[in-house]
Amino acid sequence: MKIEILDSTLRDGAQAEGVSFSVNDKLDIVKALDKLGISVIEAGNPASNPKDLELFERMRSVKTVNAKVAAFGSTRRKNVPVYDDAGCAALIKAGTDIVSVFGKTSLLQVDSILQTTPGENLKMIEETCRYMKENGKQVIYDAEQFFDGYKEKPDYALAALNAALSGGAYCLCLCDTNGGTFPWEVAEIVRLVCRKFPGTKIGIHAHNDSDLATACSIEAVRAGAAHVQGTFIGFGERCGNANLSAIIPNLQIKGGFECIPEKNLSMLTSTARNIASTSNMTLHKATPFVGRSAFAHKAGMHSDGVLKVHSSYEHIDPALIGNHRRILVSEFSGKAAVYKRIKQLYPDIGKNDEVVTKIVNDLKQKEYEGYQFEGAEASFELIIRRAAEKYESFFDLISYKVLDELPYDNNHSATATIKLRVNDTVKIAASDGEGPVNALDTALREALADFYPCLNEVRLTDYKVRVMEPKFATAAQVRVLITSADKDDIWTTVGTSNDVIEASWIALVDSIEHKLIKEKSQN
């Protein structure tokens, strides 16, 4: 069975706290979602802001392969003819084949929010859908607060759906707008709606206020829904929306439904990371299916088991959705777990090669010194490369100097100067920043920019400092973990020292060198 997936990252996702898309950001996300094979991309509300108006104008010259683009907007205003309504005019002007029209289902909303009569609300729904259909649009009707409205007065909620269907909507999407409905309630109500409107495409739009949006969406499909709305990595208003990067593989790999072309499933993880990068959002490592830790196993029974039989501790093969298995390396790691990681980098190294023993010993010594590699595989990879004597440094530090001062202007409290050598060229760069580590990071990138332009793609997404021995107070050793990302990947590096700047420098250098090694291997 084919499920129509509507992605609302650019509309509902844009309503998330801290998210602000540029028009170019939106165009990049449209291209990524289209390449993945999403059926419908809800690009925004053309009546709400000039940015969305510009997007729809520019979309006229963008040819999508798999997806249709939808404009989103409200029913006409109360007591206003539909042909005189500015919002409806904007929907028509957007030039999309599909429009998503939302209207009220709950009598509480009709009375308290719209402040109109139940009859007028039904006219607003039917007349708007009919007007859109007459202007050549395919209409998705988003029944706002449907589940709450159904619980209040079922007959009126169903009458609202019937008004949209009478007006020509091809899909009736039931919205759990407040995110408070249980999955079994969703299933029961969706099943009833499917019986009431046979032959009509029924959809689900769930919010995550109860942490149930994904479960509600899956239950709706099992009950007969053939249209699912959400945002690709789950962010949106309040607690977010149904997470399509979890819904799609659950339905397609485990449920036997078709959501995107089968050949595109392996793009799921890279698409999630691309959208997170474009959105300037951190993709949480524990995000199901696409997170860095989704298939991560720490040394011990789990690691040993999954190396012998993958399905012993993995619900799917991570390669199906473009993710990969990670064996977390720590001082508890056995030689077999470490060797598996070595083998991925250097297939020719034998299990009993002395370099394997050297790497295991180096790992244990480093962790004794305060390093932690179970969450910093990029730094551990560099240990392997250095021990295998197959590592070439991309630059050599000559010196750096960091100054921190108060008072300061423009939020820049620190200045860093760095001198380094790339091949036979000496480069000096200086930068200020919001603190000494930011200044040092910016100066390092500036020094390397002419030699390695790919570093412009890298951004630091997380920075953690842990004091190792608090009893030594300000003289204590610290561990710094830095997480970095580009449009395709996320990686973490570690540095340890009694000097927090030096520990940060070690982690920064590892992060940069990991990116450069990756870039070199791809060229």
CATH code where residue 437 lies: 3.30.160.740
In a domain, 286, yes or no: no
CA distance 174 to 164: 12
Instruction: Look at residues 227, 244, 278 and tell me which one is the last residue of a structural domain.
Output: 278
Q: What is the pLDDT of residue 320?
A: 97
In a domain, 464, yes or no: yes
Q: What is the pLDDT of residue 469?
A: 66
Are residue 304 and residue 413 in the same domain, yes or no? no
Range of the domain at 143: 4-278
Are residue 463 and residue 447 in the same domain, yes or no? no
In a domain, 417, yes or no: yes
Are residue 476 and residue 512 in the same domain, yes or no? yes
Tokens of 232: 């690709």
DSSP structural state of residue 77: P
Tokens of 94: 């957007």
Helical H segments across 143-267, by residue range = 146-152, 154-167, 183-196, 213-222, 244-249
Are residue 88 and residue 13 in the same domain, yes or no? yes
In a domain, 335, yes or no: yes
Give the number of C-alpha atoms closer than 13 A to the C-alpha of residue 249, restricted to the C-beta side: 24
Order of strands across the sheet with 396-409? Answer: 396-409, 412-422, 425-433
Instruction: Look at residues 226, 245, 278 and tell me which one is the last residue of a structural domain.
Output: 278
Q: What is the pLDDT of residue 471?
A: 53
DSSP structural state of residue 314: -
Q: What is the pLDDT of residue 350?
A: 84
Provide the residue-wise pLDDT of the chain in tens; the chain has 523 residues: 999 999 999 999 999 998 999 999 999 999 999 999 999 999 999 998 888 989 999 999 999 999 999 999 999 999 999 999 999 999 999 999 999 999 999 999 999 999 999 999 999 999 999 999 999 999 999 999 999 999 999 999 999 999 999 999 999 999 999 999 999 999 999 999 999 999 999 999 999 999 999 999 999 999 999 999 999 999 999 999 999 999 999 999 999 999 999 999 999 999 998 999 888 888 888 999 999 889 988 756 666 677 778 888 899 999 999 998 877 765 555 566 778 778 888 888 887 788 888 888 888 788 777 787 767 888 988 888 888 776 778 999 999 999 988 877 677 889 999 999 999 999 999 999 888 998 999 999 999 999 999 999 898 888 888 887 655 555 578 889 999 988 888 899 999 998 999 999 999 999 999 999 988 888 7
In a domain, 386, yes or no: no
In a domain, 390, yes or no: no
- Residue for token digits 């197959």? 390
Q: What are residue 70's DSSP bridge partners?
A: 42, 98
Are residue 10 and residue 142 in the same domain, yes or no? yes
Number of domains composing the chain: 4
Residue 378 phi, psi (nearest 5):
-65, -40
Which among 48, 132, 129 has a CA at the least distance from the CA of 95?
132
CATH number of 486's domain: 3.30.160.340
Q: What is the pLDDT of residue 475?
A: 57
DSSP structural state of residue 207: B
Which among 37, 32, 33 has a CA at the least distance from the CA of 66?
37
Are residue 375 and residue 482 in the same domain, yes or no? no
Q: What is the pLDDT of residue 360?
A: 81
Instruction: Look at residues 220, 252, 278 and tell me which one is the last residue of a structural domain.
Output: 278
Are residue 233 and residue 326 in the same domain, yes or no? no
Are residue 135 and residue 186 in the same domain, yes or no? yes
Which among 302, 212, 222, 278 has a CA at the least distance from the CA of 254?
222
Q: What is the pLDDT of residue 225?
A: 98
Are residue 104 and residue 207 in the same domain, yes or no? yes
Cα of 414 vs its chain's centroid, Å: 32
Are residue 165 and residue 121 in the same domain, yes or no? yes
How many C-beta neighbours within 10 Å does residue 245 have?
27
Are residue 26 and residue 167 in the same domain, yes or no? yes
CA distance 174 to 186: 9
In a domain, 351, yes or no: yes
Residue 34 phi, psi (nearest 5):
-65, -45
Are residue 71 and residue 212 in the same domain, yes or no? yes
Tokens of 326: 């990670």
CATH number of 21's domain: 3.20.20.70
In a domain, 212, yes or no: yes
CA distance 367 to 357: 16
